[in-house]
Structure 1
Amino acid sequence: MATHVYIVLAITIMYFPTILRCQNTVTSEVGANTCISLPKSNNTGTFYIKRSSESLCVFLNGETFPKPSAWSRPFSCKESISTLSVCFSNTMATDADMFSSVVNDKMEYNVTLTVQYPPTVSLQGTQRTIEGETFSFTCLYNPGYPALTTVYWKKENSSNKYTGQTLRLPDVRRTYSGEYVCVAENTYSSGNKGSTNSTMILDVQYPPVVSPIDDVKPEVHTSVNVPCIVTPGNPNTTYVYWTKSGYSGVRGTGKTLVLSYISKTDSGTYSCIAENNYYSGGKGNDSQSFTIDVLYGPTLGSSKTLTVNEGQRATLSVSITSNPPSLVSWHRGDNLLMSQESVNGTASYTIARAQCNDTGTYLVTASNGIQSYRSTTVYLYVNCSPRLTTAGTSVTFYVGNNRYLQEIILIQSYPRPNFTLVLPNGAPNRNIITNIYTISSNQFRLTLTRSSLKPEDYGRYILDISNNYGSRTVSVSIIPQSKPYPPVQVLVHCGHGEGSVTWQSSYFGYEQQYSIVQFSTDNANFVNGTHVTTENIKQKIYQTRVYNFQDGTHYFLRVLTINTHGFSTSSVKNCSIGAQKDELSNSSTVVVGSVLGTLLLFAFGAVVFFSFKYFTSAKKVEERTMLYCNLRKTIKSTDNHLYEQYTSEIQEGVSDKGTLDAKSKTKKSEKDTKCKKSEDNDTRYTASPVPLKALKPPQKVKKEKLYENTEELALRVFGSVTTTKEDGKDKPQVLPKPKKSGP
């Protein structure tokens, strides 16, 4: 059996280390963000990223140290597990170079950066050409990287695009002037385009333009200025001169042809010529022709003045010469009075019977197709007596709530009138301020002014106006259209459960007004406490009563007066209602002394007590009878606006419906019989012509019979009213016309 022996040998091969190098290329483009990444080896030590021979980044023990001074642009360094990177933005063509990684001063990897960039276009500048010629211009450029380049032209603010390196424009127009852009483009490997452009300014030169000139037909012996309107060309420096057909030489220079003291020989054909000079030495020019035709227009005589009396015949005339004959028109203001054709001599206008309002200025115009609207004026004055411009013999003025009179009366007269304003009885006016002002030769404005009118200022006045040719009497009425004046002389008296109010009406004529008494316990919130009183008699005294007053209360009362233009209130009066005290019989404590003494004392007291009650009751009955009689007399003596009060006795027999029961009627009849005799003998108390409306007793009056506030009053009297809040109070404002109904 064979035996195998194995010998194991370990062989160690010694060799020098080899640096593995990796070359690569990175392509970027101008303006892009670029990062160059290099593999990180497993070697230990200090790592570097270099551009050419300059170290940009140092990586040591996990920390990164960029060297900003190594490159003249901003950059950043980054380290990851497997790569080392240097990054920068807005890449430029000059950034192209080789980047490498170095470990312990030994290069391991390198990358070459290639930057793609657009072509460049040479500066184009300004190019000139002349209108009507053909323009051609070539764009010069240097290729970029990649070198393949596309070139085209485009005009600013236009959609036109011209392909090719050469711009060609045949038959150039002045509108072709402007900026043209040459664009050169290449395409990067990323698909993006690199583009560069340059602007060329095209200056198209052209002649000035002369606007058409109208033919001129001037009058003989006048001056003529004919303007030549020229639109400058390019260049805009323009030379303007004038020529005449059949005449050698220049008749004038400048934009206006001036012919002084023109004559018939100046007629003919003229031309205005405008020129400018091109950059090439040539000239641009334009011209317009027109004719001057010298003719004779109308000539009118000087102004004339005519004065006649009212009713006389007035003939106005003016001399007119013209060739050919003229069309003549007579005007007064904007009104055409008459037209006359083919007038060459005298034109006239006749008024058969002149009136006061014919005074004024008359305008005469003449036209003959050569010269239009030559004019002169003729003045006519008609002597006349004063009168109102509006006709009639009366005027009426209405004065509102401000009680301020400022009115105007228009008067027609020639010459200027005198005037006086008096009262109907001939007494002079001392309140109304009057002045007269001149509007025109026969028109005058008389003003009447007065502030804070008083009642006595209203009424009818007599205005006398006169001049040398007559006089006129005018009735002037000043009528109020304003809220009433406040009531005056207000007197208030308060008794148990009621108050009596007396006042003098502020009514002074014209529009009927209505009053009502209001009361308040705080002098702030007033309510209406009576029915409405109609006032239509001047300065009449009225009286009414307010019921349902509470004992022990202080009241404030006022009178409110209303018409269709507003309301006013009187001054506030106040009164107090005293408290009623019940007399209670206190039982006397009797000390029993003896039975007989007590009985005698009680009997004596009973006799005295019943005697006192008998006489007291009889006296009260007599007093009540007298009060009742006086009340009937007072009611009969007052007007129909007073309201009958109810005594406690009358109230006792009033049913829920407001009528007296049989017992009360009997008592009332007995009292009436007792009073009748004294009333028949007393002539001061006569029956009121308008019977008073019977009232229900105060405690039975339904709430709606009294007015809670001024709005309800106005609604009842006028139909509707609007109010506003003022100082916490409701105030009526606009009151419509009252209904035709009594209080």
Structure 2
Amino acid sequence: MVNFGCEMKIHFALMCFILMICKTKGQEYNITGSSTFSELGKEFTWTCSMFTPPKQTVNGVKFYRDDLVCAVIGRVTGECTVQILNDRYIYGCLSNSIYTLTIPAENMTEYEQRSTWSCRYVSNSSYRSPDAILNIAIEVHNISLSPNNGQLTLRENLETEVMCEINNNAVPPPTITWFLGTKYISSTEGTYTTSINITGNREDNTQTLQCKATNNNKPPKTAVTTINVEYPPTVRPFWQQNIIVEGRNVTVTCDFIPGNPNTTILFWTKEGNPLFRQKGATLLLPKIQRSSSGEYKCIAENIYSNGEKGRNNQSMILNVLYPPSIEDIPLEIVNESSTVSLNRKIFSNPLSNVSWYRGTKLLKTETSVKTATYIIERAMCTDTHNLTLQVNNVVGNVSILVELIVNCMPKLETTNITLGVTDTTGIDFSVTVLAYPSPQYKLQREDGAIDNIMQNSIYMNAVNNFTLRFNKNIVDQSDFGIYNLIVSNPFGVATSFILVLPQRIPNIPRDVTLTCEVTSASVHWVSSFNGGDTQTFTVVAFNVKYGTRYSERIPDMGENTAHSNFIHNLQPSTSYSFHVSAENSHGNSSSENIICTTQNKDTGSLQTAVIAGGVGGTLTVVVIVLITVFFVYRRYICKSVLQKRNKEKAATMKEDAAYYTTIAEQENREKNVYESLQRQNANSREGNDSDKSHREFNRKDSTTQVSDCEHSTRKPANVYVNTSFM
């Protein structure tokens, strides 16, 4: 046996193990400490449990600190043998498989803090325990508050951040708790610094704010500061206003409660008169005049520790009776979209009632006011007007005009104008413009060239309302196309797009809806472009058994305008196909068919419009399909005949091509108007022929016999309709 002269000390008491496991076939290497945390100046023991690896006979381990060998220890021939490489520690053998390393009390210093320990088999380090970290418990010994100068001064209703700091080497990190007096505020674990936001409240004045910190189940350390809440004095309210006859003496005393600091300064002021100031708690006004009528304030002040002032006040009204008069401001000019506050001071007592009028329309009333105020949240061009302000009290009344002008960029009555004209009519259109100041304008062709050929003029209808008129007596081919009317003033630019094109058939009515009743149907639609000529509408209802029903002709109320009509003499519980036809002197166009079933005569249940093929009866749908096939076949025959005749009349059609169009949605193709007109000319005639044939086929009351393939071919009438005024 080799004796290394090592004295072994073995400690078993209060072993609190942290299990670090390395397993091989159910066996393991562990290193555990005698407690979760060690303490400075107190002994601490590491215990290593091991096993002898396969094909090995030596029982022994190496202790490592931060990957450096401290000692080799084992049992040789039954005796504990130690080779010491670091004599700061004491080593021992508890059994053939359990060995210890003890850190003596005198060597337990901060040097050992966060050191890493392990034990490994003597001849093969792959058999080893997991690493274990040595944590030395350090108590909280330093705690402080910031700010802290003996007391914490707070301002009433203002937040202040207070920070509590602990020595940052405390292990484990402490738990910090805040108290206001004896009232718990909050608690934070595992941190060295924490803060709270505390709001000044006069009820908390002179209370103590405490920060307590503890770890290792030790009594807490505490930092304390006294709260000093600064707040202004309070002026007690006046319970009634003083109504004084002119020439009398006035004496009013102000009562108050001191604040913190309690030194208080009192004085009186008068609202609207910055030069009036009277010191002391008592207001003295000898031989009062009407100019003294108004609002007086008793103001109480104290001075805070930083030099700022705390202030509180109460108002008292003095009423010297006399009739009203109004501040005179003749004209106000404001910018568009700004918030406008029209204010007029009212000099009267008792306080006056006021009314704002625009013409005869009452806009606003106010009672018992010193200043009459009318607010327009977002001024518009249309707010330019003369307003009337009427003021009265029990003594008398008076009124004035308040003139308001709004600077605004031009706003056009319409931004899209479509003019359908013929070669013998002139171009004539006008645009109403809202603007201030008066606008400048120019008419441009699509390529940017200024049009100087059309005659133009501007008329002032009102200070901010103008009419621009353009006209040309004779229309040339070059006049067709798109124009940009650009209107401007210093506040902006507006543009209207004018499309000049030959007159043609109307666009299809859109947004068609209907509701079927027992013997009638209510039909609604929105009108489209009239093709440059006056258009009318007809509602058509068709049923295979009962034939076709027509409404009376409905006049056009203007483009993009909602229309409605009833069609009567329908049969109950019957499905009809409905459409709306728009017609002018150049032809007609029809909306899509909609199937709707009239209500049952007994139940009166409502039926709503359903797109064709959706809800109609099966028999009706089959019959309608057959009729449609018949129409398509006829149209094909008609189209063949027309194509033959068109070949014979090619020269004539070529000359007429510039005057016809079937633009279904002209707004989407304005920039290609000429190519679109010529490309679609032939299709327009054939489409019109077919649609007209279908409609004439359904008219039971028609007395004129017209060829199925010829009746719809018509030349445009030389009639001009200015759609911009419809």
Query: So what's the TM-score if we normalise by structure 1?
Result: 0.37
Query: So what's the TM-score if we normalise by structure 2?
Result: 0.37
Which structure would you say has the larger RCO, counting Cα contacts within 8 Å and 6 or more residues apart?
2
The higher radius of gyration belongs to 1
